[in-house]
Amino acid sequence: MNTILFFTIYSGVIAFIGLVSLFLNNKKAIQKASPPLSIFIISLLSAAYIILNFTKLKPNAILELLNWEIPFGKLQFGLDSLSGLFLIPLLILTAATSIYGWKYFGQHKQEKGHWLYFTVLVSGMVLVILSRNAIAFIFSWEIMSVSSFFLVITDKTNEKTNEKTMRAGLIYFVTAHFGAALLFIVFFILSNSSGSFEFASWHNLQLSPFKSSLIFILALIAFGTKAGFMPFHIWLPLAHPAAPSHVSALMSGIMIKMGIYGLFRILTFISPYQAWWGMLLIIIGSVSGILGVLFAIGQHDIKKLLAYHSVENIGIIMLGLGIGVSGSAYGYPLIAFFGFAGALLHVINHAMFKGLLFLGAGAIIRQTNTGELDKLGGLIKRMPVTSVLFIVGSIAIAGLPFFNGFISELLIYLSSLFGIIDSSNIPMAFLAVSTGASLALIGGLALACFTKVIGTALLGTEREQFPETVSEVPGSMLAGMILLALVCITIGMGSYFIVPILTGPISIMTGSPNFLNVTLMMNITKTLTIVLFSILVLGLIIALILKSIIKKNKPVKIVNTWDCGYSAPKASMQYTASSFAEPITDYFSIPLNISKKENVDSAFFPNNKWHFHSQANDWILTKILEPFILLIGRFFSSFKWLQNGRSGFYVLYIAIAILFLIVWKFFI
């Protein structure tokens, strides 16, 4: 069967399921279960289908659906390996989030249209990936943006959060449409140069450097508002915490990647690349990466923290993309190959572990009713499976070995290494070293951030005694998380078997596939896979030895934590998330814009309760974007007198306009 037709039908079927769900009664178990379960099964089978057929994807095949003579051309769809690469994480994540979403709304009220918005979002994203024509692309892009807006504002559990949720939704809506407006301009310039709205006609346009740079910058901003790198990340930390967790997982895992997909797609049209594009991308990548993770460390709300980590990971993808583009521009195919490989693999990886982490966070919030790190603690005893899965996700997102995050970061590191060692080009070497060093700093800070989350939320003792009902989540929710965790481990341990899928998309980006580079990547991942497995075996042996030693020695005693002689440690004496983060937030207090509120009783024997509150304020929206937008608003409000509401004036305007046109036509 034709793969393009298959996935066009898939998007239709998924949307249809959503439509049917409107007529089902949520109070009956079977009717409640059928939409998520059918989405789960269909998506999982489709994911298996595309993975099996991945090497057979044809780059230039086009499916012309609905051969309408609508203005600007037909609806055209296609599926090459670049699209396929984004489709795989989308399908897996859809499967995981849908089965998770089945029982997520256990205590909360589920909105009637929830599954409709969900499925429309999914099918919108599938269509964005399949589109081969500007009209189809913008059409699907809008479907995606609008349906996700409704999903963001779904969670109206109580009146207090309602206003906040609406504000988040509104900011998201405005940024999404700002991006879409620029997208129109990008497509207009491209179609103007080629005379057609079809993507196929946009290759090899031989654009002037100015024109291609203009397209690049506009596309960067247009897709950047969706991808959410700095300074266009403003909607992410607002929208993700507001949405239900499995929707956050879907949005953060794959919807923001549609921006990355668009950027990749546009880059295929405007080669050869300029050297400064790569530099710009690397600067954006390192700023988003470092500031993203720093802001994440400053957060105490688990979902907001994860939202900032999306900014960080988009930064890592931009670093890979940037060094790939620089490698292309300076004429080093090896650097370009590994840079693009790292960026593309990180797209899949981030979708998997970020999805897993959001689902884990959602499980915690669902059971405890709070996402405040400083109110949690000791959950590993009450929710053992969720905790293990959350730790898996954390190790993966910190880019540590044995899980998938390490593989994609390693590829970007290798690209930077080749840029430093093998190229004699000095600017290339400096770009490469800043990529590598930023990645190292991001990795170190991400480790600090996730040890903070695990240490305060999952480990230690409960800071506030939870009610008895706080226990493990239902099996269907765990199933969604386990699916994602398995993918994380598979990519991390079996990278040798996974990386071949990257060669197709890279050859779309860089032109001819270089077999030497492919062999090099295969060799490295092969060694890596062997080394990682041997280390695990070594670890197992050491663990067995230690276990037998402990058993042979005197019996194991269980006592209180040693608190330097104090024998009655309390839960409140534990290190909190804010105190754990304090050295870092203090050191970086200027970029983080930390505000502190304390109410200290400074008497020797203080009677009153002390209050301390610290918060990292995102200054990019409040200090830069809002004043800028207000400035524009003020400028245009100076034309308000034109709109005075008297119809006589409007007739006068029309007359003036006609007069002007006549003068312009006949006298100039």
Partner 1 sequence: MKIILIFISPLAALIFSPLFSGIINKVKAFISGRKGQPLLQVYYNLFKLFKKGTIYSSTTSWIFRISPVLIFTFTLAATAFIPVLQIHTGALFKGDFILMLYLLGISRFFLIISAMDTGSAFEGMGASREAFFSALVEPVMFICLINIMKVAHTDSLAAALLDPMTSNSIAMFFSAIPLFILLLVENARIPFDDPSTHLELTMIHEVMILDNSGPSLGMLEYAASIKLWLFSLILALLVIPELPFGLLIKTIVLGLIMIIIAIIVGIIESIMARSQLFRIPQIIFGAGVISFLGFFIITTDILVW
Binding residues among 382-411 for partner 1 as defined by CB under 8 A? 391, 395, 398-402, 406, 410
For residue 633, give both structure tokens.
């608003």
* Binding window for partner 1 (CB under 8 A); candidates: 36-44, 58-66, 340-348, 537-545: 537-545
Q: What is the dihedral of CA 379, 380, 382, 386, to 10 degrees?
A: 100
How far is the C-alpha of 533 from the C-alpha of 435, rounded, in Å?
A: 29
Q: How far is the CB of 557 from partner 1 (least distance, A)?
A: 5
How far is the C-alpha of 134 from the C-alpha of 143, rounded, in Å?
A: 14
Q: How far is the CB of 564 from partner 1 (least distance, A)?
A: 6
Which residues inside 216-245 make contact with partner 1, applying CB under 8 A? Answer: none
How far is the C-alpha of 324 from the C-alpha of 527, rounded, in Å?
A: 24
Contact between 492 and 406 under an 8 Å Cβ cutoff? The reply is yes
Tell me whether residue 541 or residue 624 sits nearer to partner 1 (CB atom). 541
Residue from 45, 48, 181, 531 touching partner 1 (CB under 8 A): that is: 531
Which residues inside 557-616 make contact with partner 1, applying CB under 8 A? Answer: 557-564, 569, 571, 573-575, 579-584, 587
How far is the C-alpha of 79 from the C-alpha of 5, rounded, in Å?
A: 9
Tell me whether residue 165 or residue 394 sits nearer to partner 1 (CB atom). 394
For residue 458, give both structure tokens.
């999952």
What's the one-letter identity of residue 68? W
The residue among 379, 257, 361, 266 whose CA lies nearest residue 310 is 257
Which residues inside 450-469 make contact with partner 1, applying CB under 8 A? Answer: 450-452, 454-456, 459-461
556 binds partner 1 (CB under 8 A): yes
Q: How far is the CB of 445 from partner 1 (least distance, A)?
A: 5
Q: How far is the CB of 586 from partner 1 (least distance, A)?
A: 9
Neighbours of 342 (CB within 10 A): 31
Tell me whether residue 48 or residue 573 sits nearer to partner 1 (CB atom). 573
Contact between 394 and 453 under an 8 Å Cβ cutoff? The reply is yes
* Binding window for partner 1 (CB under 8 A); candidates: 14-22, 310-318, 442-450, 612-620: 442-450
Tell me whether residue 248 or residue 456 sits nearer to partner 1 (CB atom). 456
Tell me whether residue 325 or residue 412 sits nearer to partner 1 (CB atom). 412
- Give CA angle at 237 (263, 171), nearest 5°: 80
Residue from 13, 51, 520, 620 touching partner 1 (CB under 8 A): that is: 520
Q: How far is the CB of 523 from partner 1 (least distance, A)?
A: 7
- Total of chain residues touching partner 1, rule CB under 8 A: 81
30 binds partner 1 (CB under 8 A): no
Which residues inside 361-380 make contact with partner 1, applying CB under 8 A? Answer: 377-378, 380
Residue from 59, 209, 272, 539 touching partner 1 (CB under 8 A): that is: 539
Distances (CA, A) of 575 to 269, 498, 527: 52, 40, 41
The residue among 245, 238, 305 whose CA lies nearest residue 106 is 245
516 binds partner 1 (CB under 8 A): no
How far is the C-alpha of 327 from the C-alpha of 321, rounded, in Å?
A: 10
Tell me whether residue 46 or residue 576 sits nearer to partner 1 (CB atom). 576
What's the one-letter identity of residue 353? F
Q: What's 624's DSSP letter?
A: I
Q: How far is the CB of 527 from partner 1 (least distance, A)?
A: 4
Q: How far is the CB of 298 from partner 1 (least distance, A)?
A: 13
Q: How far is the CB of 486 from partner 1 (least distance, A)?
A: 19
Q: What is the dihedral of CA 437, 318, 301, 461, to 10 degrees?
A: -50
Contact between 120 and 147 under an 8 Å Cβ cutoff? The reply is yes
